[in-house]
């Protein structure tokens, strides 16, 4: 029969190993959100194309809403005699000849892409395909980078370069950024998924 002293020695070693194991677990570094983004691989052309098609539908809905708002503004302005629609067939004809309306829709398109890219790293289509646009260090791109990226995208044709080995599109080279494929965990944030300001709220809790 082992002595009480042997039992005490065995118990002491077990407790010591458990304490050391817990200490090592606590000391293991956790990757930050930006570091996890940085570790993701670049997105393929086909995923980019899928996100592009999704965004076309989302953008069409946004433009329809913007057009409805513009029509209401014109009707109200006409009632207040701020504008004269007598020279046009109807309100839609007036908007069709208005450079202000064209500039307004252009601003909506630029705002749609640049806001989501700079603030979230994802548009609705990119969210669906688990894509994210970011800097090489995993951080969000700036609004200026977003404008450069949009203006050099050639209506999406720049993504053809993603077929090459490094999977970097033409617009990403000009904006000095990259598009990566996220894991399901990184793509599945609470609230409005993947939004940068939602991520910040989660980190402060």
pTM: 0.78
pLDDT at position 30: 78
pLDDT cut 90: percent of the chain above it:
72
Range 80-107 average pLDDT: 94
48 pLDDT band (50/70/90 cuts)? very high
Is residue 131 included in any domain, yes or no? yes
25 pLDDT band (50/70/90 cuts)? very low
**pLDDT tens digit string along 151-170?**
999 999 999 999 999 999 99
pLDDT at 40 over 70: yes
pLDDT at position 73: 96
- Structural domain of 166: 40-204
Is residue 162 included in any domain, yes or no? yes
Is residue 12 included in any domain, yes or no? no
pLDDT at position 188: 83
Is residue 29 included in any domain, yes or no? no
Is residue 109 included in any domain, yes or no? yes
Q: Determine the Cα–Cα distance for residues 101 and 26; give it in Å rounded to an integer.
A: 58
**pLDDT tens digit string along 103-116?**
999 999 999 999 99
pLDDT at 197 over 50: no
Domain count of the chain?
1
Is residue 28 included in any domain, yes or no? no
Is residue 86 included in any domain, yes or no? yes
Q: Exposed, middle or buried by CB within 10 Å (0-12, 13-18, 19+), for 4?
A: exposed
Is residue 22 included in any domain, yes or no? no
């Amino acid at each position: 029969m082992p002595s009480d002293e042997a039992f005490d020695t065995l118990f002491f070693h077990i407790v010591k190993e458990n304490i050391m194991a817990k200490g090592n677990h606590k000391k293991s570094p956790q990757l930050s959100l930006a570091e996890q983004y940085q570790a993701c691989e670049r997105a393929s052309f086909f995923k980019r194309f899928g996100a592009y098609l999704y965004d076309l539908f989302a953008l069409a809905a946004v433009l329809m809403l913007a057009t409805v708002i513009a029509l209401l503004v014109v009707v109200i302005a006409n009632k207040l005699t701020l504008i004269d629609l007598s020279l046009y067939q109807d309100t839609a004809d007036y908007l069709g000849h208005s450079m202000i309306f064209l500039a307004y829709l252009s601003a909506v398109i630029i705002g749609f892409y640049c806001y989501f890219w700079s603030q979230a790293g994802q548009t609705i289509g990119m969210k669906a395909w688990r894509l994210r646009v970011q800097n090489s260090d995993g951080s969000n791109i700036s609004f200026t980078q977003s404008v450069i990226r949009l203006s050099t995208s050639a209506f999406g044709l720049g993504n053809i370069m993603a077929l090459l080995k490094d999977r970097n599109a033409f617009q990403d080279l000009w904006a000095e950024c990259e598009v990566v494929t996220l894991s399901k965990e990184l793509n599945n944030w609470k609230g409005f998924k993947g939004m940068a300001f939602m991520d910040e709220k989660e980190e402060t809790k």
